[in-house]
Amino acid sequence: MAKKWGQRVRNWMANKMDLPQDVMMDLPRITMIGHIHIYVENHRGLLSFTDKELRLLLKQGQLLIKGKGFVIKTILPEEILLQGKIDQVIYLNEDAGGTK
């Protein structure tokens, strides 16, 4: 419950004080360049990686990227740059029934 409250306060602050959401709420910032590059900041680690799929752990939930011919161009503790043909970017939220 306390976590929820904290979340709410942060959300409220972000809204009212015009602060960027990703800084306030530890959300991933995802930048895509067309469908060839995807740049994810603020992830919490690599869960699985094949040339058709990349699964990243987030603070809340997971991020699933599907496509073809994936190559991780760079990987740092909290950043990842993926190259390939990206078809889908899917959020898998724990709250909404966990991983599917």
Partner 1 sequence: MKNQWIEFLYGRVTVRVSGKGLERFLNVLTRNGLHIWHVKRHGTETITFKMRVQDALKIRRFARKSECKISFLQRSGAPFLLKRLLKNSGFMLGAAAFLFIILLLSNMIWGIEIKGAKPATEYQIRKELDKMGVKIGKVQFLVANVEGIQRQLTNNIGALTWVGVELKGTTYHLQVVEKNEPKKPEQSSPQNLIAKKKAIIVKMFVESGQKVVDIHDHVEKGQLLVSGAFGQEDHPELTAAKGEVWGETWYKSHVELPLVTKFNVYNGKEEQKHSLLLGKLEIPIWGFGKPAFKHYETEKNVHKIRFLNWDLPISYVNKTIREREVYERSYSNSEAEKMAVELAKKQIKSSLDEDAMIKDEKILHKAMENGKVILDIHFKIIENIAVGQPISKETPDDREINNH
The stretches of the chain forming alpha helices (DSSP H) are 2-17, 21-25
Is residue 74 close enough to count as binding partner 1 by CB under 8 A? yes
Is residue 70 close enough to count as binding partner 1 by CB under 8 A? yes
Q: Which helix (H) or strand (E) holds 67?
A: strand 62-76
Q: Which is nearer to partner 1, 11 or 48 (CB)?
A: 48
Q: 13, 33, 71, 90: which one contacts partner 1 (CB under 8 A)?
A: 71
Burial of 61 (0-12, 13-18, 19+ CB in 10 A): middle
Is residue 75 close enough to count as binding partner 1 by CB under 8 A? yes
Q: Which residues pair with 57 in a beta bridge?
A: 45, 62
Is residue 72 close enough to count as binding partner 1 by CB under 8 A? yes
Is residue 49 close enough to count as binding partner 1 by CB under 8 A? yes
- The torsion region of residue 69 among left (phi > 0), alpha (psi -120 to 50) and beta comes to left
Is residue 33 close enough to count as binding partner 1 by CB under 8 A? no
Binding interface with partner 1 (CB under 8 A): 45-51, 70-77, 81
